[in-house]
Amino acid sequence: MAEMEIDVRGQTCPVPLVECRKALKKAAPGDLVIVKGTHPASKKEIPMACEAMGLKVLEIEDKEGGKEWEIKIRR
């Protein structure tokens, strides 16, 4: 089981979602993909897209006093 980290801090839509989808396509079943970002809309869109793809969102965590977020997804 591998772990991939995608850093899209400072990027706005659609970049975070596109980069997340690329990582999820590369990841093997069981891998953990961690997406770090700052764009508020992406924090909502990424989990919805993951659920639509049948993937499990493990955690959505606010960082830096809510200025950043981290989403953990199991492939």
Q: Can you tell me the distance from the alpha carbon of 49 to that of 41, in angstroms, rounded to the nearest whole number?
A: 12
The torsion of the CA quartet 49, 51, 52, 54, rounded to 10 degrees, works out to: 130
Instruction: Examine the residue annotation and report whether 13 is marked as an active-site residue of this protein.
Output: yes
Task: Tell me which of 1, 2, 13, 18 is the catalytic residue.
Answer: 13
C-alpha distances in Å from residue 38, one per residue of 12, 30, 51, 69: 8, 26, 21, 6
**Catalytic residue numbers, as ranges:** 13
